[in-house]
């Protein structure tokens, strides 16, 4: 009986862990959707612009935080910032050049970027080439809401796991108690 109970507890633990990991990864990957769309839009605009029309307008720069909305940074081929909507303090944050190089090598890359403690961003980078030159477009969005949802899923999965373990333990106690009552006295 104890071996069966222990086996069920192990299976419940593995199942709960799998549910959490899948839910967390689905949420994290979904956070890349907005940056991917922004990058594609900016790459298309940069690739079709005439050299005289310059860079597409990106809008006002905003401060990055884990709760910040979407941002775009356009780099040239030497990794210098050409245009940005992202500020960290009073400056444009510099994405690691390895990430920019990886985007050029692979055609695009998506990463989690932490430019400062407490500021985590889902970032997509993709190279661009057009009449005005070439470089890398980076777009991102704060991961705060995604990470908040992951914590909520963790709490729910943990509560479900604990309830399953309690139910398994109660079932063992009831079965064991019933078996003891039906045994003939010696």
Q: Which residues, other chains included, contact 163 with Cβ-Cβ below 8 Å and sequence gap of 6+?
A: none
pLDDT, tens digit, for every residue of 118-166?
899 999 999 999 887 899 999 999 988 888 899 999 999 999 999 999 9
- pLDDT tens across 7-41, in order? 999 999 999 999 999 999 998 898 899 999 999 99
What pTM was estimated for this model as a whole?
0.76
pLDDT band at 50 (very low <50, low <70, confident <90, very high): low
**Taking a C-beta distance cutoff of 8 angstroms, is the pair 121, 139 a contact?**
no
Task: Count CA atoms within 13 Å of residue 90 on its CB side.
Answer: 0
């Amino acid at each position: 009986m104890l071996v069966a109970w222990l086996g069920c507890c192990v299976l419940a633990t593995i199942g709960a862990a799998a549910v959490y990991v899948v839910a967390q990864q689905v949420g994290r990957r979904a956070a890349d959707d907005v940056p991917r769309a922004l990058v594609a839009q900016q790459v298309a605009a940069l690739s079709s612009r005439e050299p005289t029309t310059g860079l597409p307008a990106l809008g006002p720069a905003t401060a990055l935080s884990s709760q910040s909305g979407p941002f775009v940074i356009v780099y040239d081929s030497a990794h210098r910032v050409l245009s940005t909507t992202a500020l960290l303090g009073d400056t444009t944050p510099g994405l690691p050049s390895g990430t920019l190089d990886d985007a050029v090598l692979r055609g695009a890359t998506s990463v989690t970027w932490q430019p400062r403690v407490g500021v985590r961003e889902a970032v997509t980078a993709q190279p661009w080439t057009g009449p005005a030159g070439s470089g890398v477009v980076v777009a991102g969005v704060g991961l705060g809401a995604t990470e908040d949802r992951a914590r909520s899923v963790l709490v729910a999965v943990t509560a479900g796991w604990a309830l399953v373990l309690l139910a398994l333990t109660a079932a063992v106690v009831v079965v064991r108690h019933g078996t003891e009552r039906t045994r003939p006295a010696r």
